[in-house]
Amino acid sequence: MPPPSNRSVQPPAAPGAGATVDQWLTYLEAIHPTEIDLGLDRVLIVLRRLFRRKPEARIITVAGTNGKGSAVAVVEALLQTAGRRTGAYTSPHLQSYNERVRLDGVDISDEELVKAFEAVEAARGKVSLTYFEFGTLAAFVAFANAGVDHWILEVGLGGRLDAVNVLDADFAILTSVDIDHVAFLGDNREVIGFEKAGVLRPGIPAVYADNDPPRSVLQQVAAQKVNLALLDRDYHLTPQKDDKGPNSGLTLEYAGQLIRLPAGPLPVKSVAAAVVAIRSLEPELDIPAIERTLATVSVPGRFELLGKSPDIFVDVGHNPHAAGWLAGQLERLKAPGKEVRAVYAALADKDVEGVGRAMAGVVDHWYLAGLDVPRGLSGAALKDRAAAAGLRAVSVSETVLQALDAALSNATADDLVVVFGSFYTVAQAREILLHENEPRG
């Protein structure tokens, strides 16, 4: 999860020898006056002190409004299937910061993470870095220390001015462009698309995981002569011909080849874009190996099944675009007689009304919850905004735990329960659901 904003005037002393990861994270939260401070100048200064030249690795940068983590996970898994060593950097995290930095598919150890933090601290001198900037550079150090040859980097916010973008991509994936983080990126797809397409580099290959990119993206593609693969122009998704049921997957058609994609739990457009990327990066990886690997990939917090009877899903979707995808997944699973019970908690700067409208057609009962975190909405404030969206069958609780208990108390074994709205919401639900000794229902 993202850290709270800390506006300390006097920076604290750096952790000493033997400091823990938690002590380092507390320090990172306090050394810059704002939580988000977009720009590359500070990061570039420290990067050049850490690395005299571009790291000797293939850099794959993933940007977009939604579906980035899924694309990273698929690229990571397929590269490992091809025998490559991988470093994956994602954000935010759910339970442990170590989730953000994976080495060959495994969360980084505390020892290696602290070593990377110490290297960044030694290099930065008096340069002030945000929590995310410091962590991004630490991930680069950890990858270099481990000697991994493919770095898969998820953009944190936007693209053009995001800390990840200090490294030139050798391949770029743009998953989607939609409205989110309006205060930082703008309030329309053209402006946001310009920011996200800032990860492109002249002449590199790239893939866009949808069929309607903003003009601003296509303009940058043309100006930089980027070799872009675009959905419904350069590759296609069609229903699998031998399976018409509700759980059927799709077939990816690309470069004269057919690859079967599984149905869920990840956004299929992100999965398809990742496979297109791998066909460019690892053309010798055979299709059966790709299909076997895809069947095993999942991402914590992305339509993750954490309970049975009733089925309990958690999903980090927090904007209307993500909520529309989530609604489609629930609709696919909803059978006659089943009801969908949604536990929802959100941050104040999110489009609650848009999310509510995107989910209204599939949700039968809403269990709203307050979030006692920075920028979190109280249950009462969330109820007011839900009312503005026209949501019905609403109850309100002070916490996610109370809302989840209420939903499960009212659910039958055949119902669907979904907990969603932010990484904070899902983290709290996972903490409960993953550590239960007795099954619910």
- pLDDT at position 219 over 60: yes
Give the pLDDT score at 8: 44
- pLDDT at position 66 over 50: yes
Domain at 304-433: CATH architecture: Alpha-Beta Complex (3.90)
Mean pLDDT of 311-340: 94
Q: Binning pLDDT at 50, 70 and 90, where does residue 438 land?
A: very low
CA–CA distance, 218 with 31 (Å, rounded to integer):
38
- CATH class of the domain at 21-294: alpha beta
CA–CA distance, 1 with 171 (Å, rounded to integer):
27
CA–CA distance, 386 with 20 (Å, rounded to integer):
42
Spell out the domain ranges in the chain.
21-294, 304-433
Output the furthest CA–CA distance in the chain (Å, rounded).
Answer: 65
Tell me the per-residue pLDDT of 79-132, one tens digit each, with 9 for 90 and over.
999 999 999 999 999 999 999 999 999 999 999 999 999 999 999 999 999 999
Tell me the per-residue pLDDT of 384-404, one tens digit each, with 9 for 90 and over.
999 998 998 899 999 999 999
Q: What is the pTM of this model?
A: 0.92
Task: Kindly list the distances between the CA atom of residue 219 and the CA atoms of 103, 201, 226, 255, 436, in Å, as whole numbers in the listed order.
Answer: 36, 13, 10, 24, 51
Give, in degrees to the nearest 5, the angle at Cα 369 between 363 and 370. 150
Tell me the per-residue pLDDT of 359-374, one tens digit each, with 9 for 90 and over.
999 999 999 999 999 8
Tell me the per-residue pLDDT of 139-165, one tens digit each, with 9 for 90 and over.
999 999 999 999 999 999 888 999 999
